[in-house]
Amino acid sequence: MRTLTISGILIAFTIAIALWAQDAIPRTQATPAARRIIQTTDGQTLQGQVLSEGMTDLQLRTDDKKIRLLRKADGNRYRLVTSQADWPTYNGDPSGNRYSKLTQIDKSNVGRLAPRWMFPMPGATTIENTPLVVDGIMYVSQANECWALDAGTGRVIWRYRRERTRGVSGNAAGGFNRGVAVAGDRVFMLTDNAHMISLGRSDGELLWETEMADWHQNYNGTSAPLTVGNLVISGTAGGDEGVRGFVAAFDQTTGKEVWRFWTVPLPGEPGSETWKGKELEHRSGATWMTGTYDPALDIVYWPVGNPGPDYDGSEREGDNLYTDSILALEAKTGKLKWYYQFTPHDVHDWDAQEPPVLVDTNWQGQPRKLLLQANRNGFFYVLDRTNGQLLLGKQYLRKLNWAEPTIGKDGRPILKDLPKDANGDTYVCPGFQGGANWYSTSFNPTTGLYYFSSLERCNNFSARRGEWQAGKGYMGGTARPAPGESFEKFLRAINIQTGEVAFDVPQVTTPQTASAGVISTASGLVFYGENSGSFMAVDAANGKILWQFPTNQVWKASPMTYMFDNKQYVAIAVGTDIVSFGLPE
């Protein structure tokens, strides 16, 4: 048996502390020391540090700090490669519409689609992020970690990592992070403890860090920021933990806060009259999903979460502005231009975090700037995004019992009086997950259809009083599946002019409900994650299934597409991997 001396114990303890400190310091992947001089097929001589290398590919940081992506060619020469079509924001475009003009993958060849490369995220439990691609480099993330990858091979270029925050609450505690933002030479992301950070795009070095809110008060960070002009804009999570929501904009260069809009007014402020009760300190209205932006109007559109506590509205009587709303904010100042509230006085957790999609198209024969949303409450909405006017509000769920099928002329739902059973429960359709949720949606201008994943499910809701606590949920009750009932899930296509369902593609009912979004393309395809784990492609005109790939994973992410080295790829987070699909050579 080995005996440790006191000095040995001290040495071991010192080493352990050093290793702990090393892990605690935010850092990037260690820079490889190898240097290389190479010749390119266009006659250049490049020299720099080798970041990564494969049998046929090389990633080089040259002495001018630029990253060069290279492929072996004839002899000892290399060919420079990059992307021809990027995916530069969370939804690919500031409008929030996951529609791509790429057509290389089409109805005639999509059946040949296959994985081209995959990247397993070390230490991930589940991945909710959408990859970004800018100048041939893909950026992916999970909580407090970001990777830069060669978008053609998945080879790691750099990695940023810091330790996760112990004691943080909400979804960030589970490692959720939905992505990053890129502008110029910087990458922006939220940390789990609700800090905004800026990283160098070429090396992943930390440039600045700004605290958005105090995580000890249940704030946490999960969303992908939005870049607008010289600003980077985001909200935080914590809506089920009783935070006071806000949207904030920061200077991209310095990290200094430029403006902040609180989603729940203080007493005496406009909208405060819509809150009546004794417990009004933890009213939620979190802003945990990415907004959208119209550069012509210079307006940011931000979705707002549910009021708190989620299921108990007895001490927050009134409409509870601006929860469950879309906010139209002046991009430069954060000043409120208009708002539209989908679900006044919500007691079912039906936030408005579903994508607010901006489209320019004809409406009743006239060109119009529209905002589309399939809301969690089971209604499909068309708004005039210049002023917030409701143009259409129509039920898209088959199972919906809390309101009449059409939104009233005053823009409010026409409520039904739902009875309570002997246990005090109320049977409500949809359930707390809603008919739709945070994952991506798509409007295809060729078909005129809006595509999203729709969930048909009901719950028994019960309310109970509870006190807010740091580090705890603030639900105010429960929502449970109705005994003897299951659920149905569909890829649903809606005619935006009428609100009518054009077609449904049924999905498999499994023990869990997946959270996968969609993307449609100019080649007439819709890609989406099916509930049993298959990655699917269907005909955008009629929903005919054209291709599927079984991943055997529960979806928590949405797809994107890009063109790299003149080849189109479709990528999505699958379980704990990023998988990029393409056509065979």
CATH number of the domain bearing residue 34: 2.30.30
The answer to whether residue 348 sits within a structural domain is yes
Confidence of residue 32 (pLDDT cuts 50, 70, 90): very low
The answer to whether residue 5 sits within a structural domain is no
Confidence of residue 260 (pLDDT cuts 50, 70, 90): very high
Asked whether the predicted pLDDT for residue 240 surpasses 50, the reply is yes
In angstroms, rounded to a whole number, what is the distance separating the alpha carbons of residues 537 and 535?
Answer: 7
Total tally of structural domains belonging to the chain: 2
Asked whether the predicted pLDDT for residue 28 surpasses 80, the reply is no
Domain boundary among 54, 81, 108: 81
Asked whether the predicted pLDDT for residue 57 surpasses 60, the reply is yes
Confidence at residue 466, expressed as pLDDT on a 0 to 100 scale: 87
Confidence at residue 1, expressed as pLDDT on a 0 to 100 scale: 30
Are residue 21 and residue 135 in the same domain, yes or no?
Answer: no
| 349 among known catalytic residues | yes
Mark residue 75 as left, alpha or beta (left: phi above 0; alpha: psi -120 to 50; beta: remaining).
Answer: left
Asked whether the predicted pLDDT for residue 288 surpasses 80, the reply is yes
Asked whether the predicted pLDDT for residue 254 surpasses 90, the reply is yes
Are residue 32 and residue 128 in the same domain, yes or no?
Answer: no
Asked if residue 225 lies in contact with residue 141, where contact means CB atoms within 8 angstroms, the answer is no
Asked whether the predicted pLDDT for residue 26 surpasses 60, the reply is no
**pLDDT tens digits for range 564-574:** 999 999 999 99
Q: Which of 7-11, 57-61, 162-166, 274-278 has the weakest average pLDDT?
A: 7-11
Confidence at residue 125, expressed as pLDDT on a 0 to 100 scale: 84
Are residue 27 and residue 92 in the same domain, yes or no?
Answer: no
Asked whether the predicted pLDDT for residue 18 surpasses 70, the reply is no
Confidence of residue 297 (pLDDT cuts 50, 70, 90): very high
Q: Exactly one of 319, 349, 351, 425 is catalytic; which is it? A: 349
Confidence at residue 33, expressed as pLDDT on a 0 to 100 scale: 59
To 10 degrees, the CA torsion angle through 45, 46, 52, 56?
-20
Asked whether the predicted pLDDT for residue 198 surpasses 80, the reply is yes
- Bridge partners of 134? 137
Are residue 77 and residue 94 in the same domain, yes or no?
Answer: no
In angstroms, rounded to a whole number, what is the distance separating the alpha carbons of residues 508 and 517?
Answer: 16
Q: What is the DSSP letter of 446?
A: T
Confidence of residue 17 (pLDDT cuts 50, 70, 90): very low
pTM for the model: 0.94
Domain boundary among 36, 66, 81: 81
Beta strands in 418-513 (DSSP E): 426-428, 442-444, 449-456, 459-463, 477-481, 488-495, 501-506
Are residue 128 and residue 191 in the same domain, yes or no?
Answer: yes
High-pLDDT (> 90) share of the chain, %:
91
The answer to whether residue 493 sits within a structural domain is yes
Are residue 25 and residue 132 in the same domain, yes or no?
Answer: no
Are residue 90 and residue 171 in the same domain, yes or no?
Answer: yes
Are residue 294 and residue 335 in the same domain, yes or no?
Answer: yes
In this prediction, residues 358-368 reach a mean pLDDT of 96
In this prediction, residues 326-347 reach a mean pLDDT of 98
Residue with tokens 């060069």: 68
Asked whether the predicted pLDDT for residue 21 surpasses 80, the reply is no
The answer to whether residue 93 sits within a structural domain is yes
Q: Are strands 132-134 and 426-428 parallel, antiparallel or unpaired?
A: unpaired
Q: Encoding tokens for residue 57?
A: 């590919």
Q: What is the DSSP letter of 7?
A: H
Are residue 50 and residue 160 in the same domain, yes or no?
Answer: no
Confidence at residue 170, expressed as pLDDT on a 0 to 100 scale: 92
The answer to whether residue 359 sits within a structural domain is yes
The answer to whether residue 49 sits within a structural domain is yes
In sequence order, what are the residues at sequence separation of 6 or more whose Cβ sits closer than 8 angstroms to the Cβ of residue 96?
Answer: 290, 291, 292, 301, 355, 356, 357, 358
Rounded to the nearest integer, the mean pLDDT of the chain is: 93
In this prediction, residues 153-173 reach a mean pLDDT of 96
Domain boundary among 81, 108, 132: 81
Are residue 76 and residue 172 in the same domain, yes or no?
Answer: no
High-pLDDT (> 70) share of the chain, %:
94
Domain that holds residue 65: 10-81
Cβ-based neighbour number of residue 218 at 10 Å:
31
CATH number, domain with residue 128:
2.140.10.10
The candidate with the shortest Cα–Cα distance to 225, out of 263, 195, 256, 245, is 195
**pLDDT tens digits for range 499-524:** 999 999 999 999 989 999 999 999 99
Are residue 413 and residue 281 in the same domain, yes or no?
Answer: yes
In this prediction, residues 139-160 reach a mean pLDDT of 97
Q: Which residue has the higher pLDDT, 249 or 5?
A: 249
In sequence order, what are the residues at sequence separation of 6 or more whose Cβ sits closer than 8 angstroms to the Cβ of residue 222?
Answer: 128, 143, 170, 171, 172, 176, 177, 178, 190, 192, 237, 288
In this prediction, residues 533-557 reach a mean pLDDT of 97
Confidence at residue 403, expressed as pLDDT on a 0 to 100 scale: 98
In this prediction, residues 407-436 reach a mean pLDDT of 96
Are residue 303 and residue 422 in the same domain, yes or no?
Answer: yes
The answer to whether residue 3 sits within a structural domain is no
To 10 degrees, the CA torsion angle through 385, 390, 392, 396?
90
Asked whether the predicted pLDDT for residue 7 surpasses 70, the reply is no
The answer to whether residue 119 sits within a structural domain is yes
Asked whether the predicted pLDDT for residue 412 surpasses 80, the reply is yes
